[in-house]
Chains A and B, each alone.
Chain A
Amino acid sequence: MAHTWRKVWKTFWRYKALFLMLLPGMVYLFINNYMPMFGLTIAFKDINYAKGIWRSDWIGLKNFEFLFMTKDAWRITRNTILYNAVFIVLNTVTAIGVAILLNEVRKKFLARFYQSVLLLPYLISMVIVGYLVLALLNLENGFMNKVILPAFGIDPISWYTKPEYWPYILTIVSLWKNIGYLCIIYLAAIVGIDPEYYEAATIDGATKWQQIRSITVPLLMPTIIILTLLAIGRIFYADFGLFYQVPLNSGPLQPTTDVIDTYVYRGLITLGDIGMSSAAGFYQSLVGFVLVLVSNLLVRLKDKDQALF
């Protein structure tokens, strides 16, 4: 017994510097994330502030009911997952593509210019994006209805009452907004690749495309994997601004733009029920958590070092 304790202490002492380095970050995570974790219990309680959070009554799963007993439950879940799946794949592929292309631009001055410009959309808040989209899709004055469609001889479309267009509209907006931001991460990774690999490949007569396939992408894999795993963990969460502000909260669009977050928000405006909103968050976290555990396991089986944990 004493023998194992000594061993533990010895290991700890040997790595004391590294453990010390962990300290500031861990303290912060403890304060910011773990101390408030008791709040997870709110999902299972009927909060009465006169009693305080600790002493409020437990009510089991009642707060979760509203998420499942509605006929919309399937619709919002489907929407959330589909959008996120598409976003993960599309945004990743495009971001990598853009990063690779950016790296290929010979005039560095131009490359820096493009990079700055691509970042612009990320800096604009979703509220303003909502107005910009309105400027595009407005029934009377919008750019589409006034300029583009007439050029092709098509009648004006009432965009904000036709749900079928919005999966495309929202996907494009999400891509437009996030590409500049995402490609920075991939760019940083690409820059770290030793140019000797490329030189050797060129000498061997490989084409650009082959080089991308056999050098760039494989070396980017760690970054791709981790970003994808992290995204999977958030698969039940949606960008609230995107799904609420951009469609201007237009009712007829709900079949294709309603996601879990917007459903919860709308349902709770009059109720203001903290138990229910906590339950919704818990549900979203739990699903993401399970999915990540599974994905992480799969990754571990292939390459232990690339897994999240």
Chain B
Amino acid sequence: MKKNKLALGSLLMAIILLITACSGSGGSSSDGGKPVEIVMAYLAFTDVSDIQTVEDEINKIAREKINVVVDLMPIDGAAWTQQTNLLLAGNEKIDIILTSSFFNYNSQVSRGQLLELDELLEQYGPEIKNTMPEAIYNGTRINGKIYGIPSVRDFAADYGMVMRKDLVDKYNIDLSKVKTWADLTGVFKVIKENEPGIVPLVPTTQTYQPTRAMYSPEIDPLGDSLGVILIDDQDKKVVNLYELDLYREKLELVKQWYDAGYLSADAATTQEASANVVKAGKAFGYFNNLKPGYAIQESQLTGYEMVSVSLSPAVIQSNSASSFMISIARNSTDPVAAMKFLNLLYTDPDVMNLLANGVEGKHYVKKDNGFIGKPEGVTETGYQFNQWEIGNNFLTLVWEGWDADIWEQTKKFNESGKVSPALGFSFDQTPVKSEVAAVTNVQNQYLVGLESGTLEIEMLDNFINELKAAGIDRIIEEKQRQLDEWAKANGKK
């Protein structure tokens, strides 16, 4: 009997404890003078074990300058969508959050999860708009309001190929003669004939096949590629990308390469990122969108010195601004404090250097020529960040190995870009969300196979038919309607 009573009693205790664990957490009121606490969530998929040190240093400055302390919340890429959805669904404390057109920025706005920033910007972040081109600053507006501030980084993109320099030199390949995608065929031939274990071209990732890099500079994907405009088309006529001649041409070229063995045979199912395949000595190069310093960045990833060749002019597309932004969440208890901190991120080099590079002496050391590098003998620093995400990168110090004037180069590069007539437009998928779901499934069935050269070109017709059956024309109609409305409202006729 006793044993039973004891067991039962402890069970009941456990349950009671469970239920009473919901002691209400008193909201922390900020007294005058006490610093306001804000929480900032952002994407991190590298080693940030030393984040507390960095946070403390940042807060020393933030406390002094604006009486705000920040709690950094890095979230892994794997958990990002789930965790941010949940964070924004309830009332948890979160003030600043990374947003992006890649991560459902539009839906977040239409679901009321982000705050309007226009007034806050004017009052507490007036200098932010001077850090980037006006078109970009306004490029994230939805229904005329700003909900996200772009990070200052490379906005334009030109497309081309990056490849192993040692092989280029070995076969005396003259890259200055390579001006179009078709010119690469000759280069691939040389590699294929002389290097049996090396594939000339591999896909960048399973979903980013060579064809994509080839057509991207000629269009503006208008968010999801379901209905695009030609980048030179000032009339902004929305068309079906997959029905365009230019799409078919690119596919045919890629198919040629695939059949000749210039493209890896398992391109459609590969689980390896291109840099890793090059690193393993199995590939020559791959396509991507370039930027100043891209080849240097890839060299670090692959372990081989890489050289890039640009095969298109630089373009700025409608989601160039919104690909990485920072926003204030609806949950924020003190949006003013949040905006003040954001202002720091765009204007204060000390804070940005801490966030981007870590603590001086611990995570990096200053070298004589103005560069910074890893401290002597250290391989894992405990802090690695992805700069392009947040804030004003032009303020940060340059790592050795890059060009000293990399930020100047980037700025110029941004200014040289051909601007899409639709920059600043963002498509709201809600009215056609059922069609989008159906069309996305069709895309998934054909896209990778076609764009990797694995499927026969005839399948393109099947693809187009199924897209139509799934409702792509309705999507295009809706997109055109929204685009025209936006153009009128912004005086862009």
Contacts and interface: CB of A to CB of B under 8 A. Distances in A.
Given A66-B438, A248-B271, A267-B437, 6 more contacts: A71-B469, A72-B470, A138-B266, A139-B266, A254-B444, A272-B104
B449 A51 contact: no
User: Which 5 A-B residue pairs are closest in the complex by CB-CB distance?
Assistant: A50-B112, A267-B437, A70-B438, A66-B434, A66-B437
Interface string B1-30: 000000010011001001000000000000
A254 B462 CA distance: 14
A76 to B, nearest CB: 9
A251 B444 contact: yes
Given A49-B113, A71-B470, A252-B455, A268 B268 contact: no
B112 A272 contact: no
Contact of A69 (B111, B434, B447): B434
9 contacts: A70-B438, A70-B470, A134-B271, A251-B268, A251-B446, A251-B448, A252-B445, A264-B437, A267-B438
B400 to A, nearest CB: 37
Given A266-B440, A267-B441, A273 B268 contact: no
Interface string B195-236: 000000000001000000000000000001000000000000
From A134, A160, A271, residue with most partner B Cβ within 10 Å? A271
Given A66-B438, A72-B438, A51 B433 contact: no
Interface in A1-57: 20, 24, 27, 31, 47-51
Interface of B: 8, 11-12, 15, 18, 81, 85, 88-89, 104, 107, 110-113, 206, 224, 265-266, 268-269, 271, 330, 429, 433-438, 440-442, 444-449, 454-455, 466, 469-471
A270 B446 contact: no
B15 A161 contact: no
Nearest to B8: A20
B224 A139 contact: no
A65 B434 contact: yes
Contacts of B268: 160-161, 250-252
A183 interface: no
Nearest to B442: A72
Given A134-B271, A271-B429, A251 B438 contact: no
B438 A69 contact: yes
Contact of A24 (B15, B438, B454, B466): B15
A276 interface: yes
Nearest to B463: A251
A269 interface: yes
A49 B448 CA distance: 35
Contacts of B110: 48
Nearest to B88: A49
A49 B449 contact: no
Contacts of A138: 266
Nearest to A68: B434
Contacts of B18: 31
Given A48-B112, A50-B330, A252-B449, A270 B440 contact: yes
A1 B434 CA distance: 55
Interface in A60-111: 62, 65-66, 69-72
Contacts of B206: 248-249
Interface in A114-140: 131, 134, 138-140
Contacts of B112: 48-51
A72 B467 CA distance: 12
A268 to B, nearest CB: 6
Nearest to A159: B269
Contacts of A249: 206, 444
Instruction: Give the interface centre of A139, A252, A276 by most chain B CB atoms within 10 Å.
Output: A252
A140 B15 CA distance: 57
A261 interface: no
Given A49-B88, A249-B444, A251-B444, A131 B271 contact: yes
A49 B88 CA distance: 8
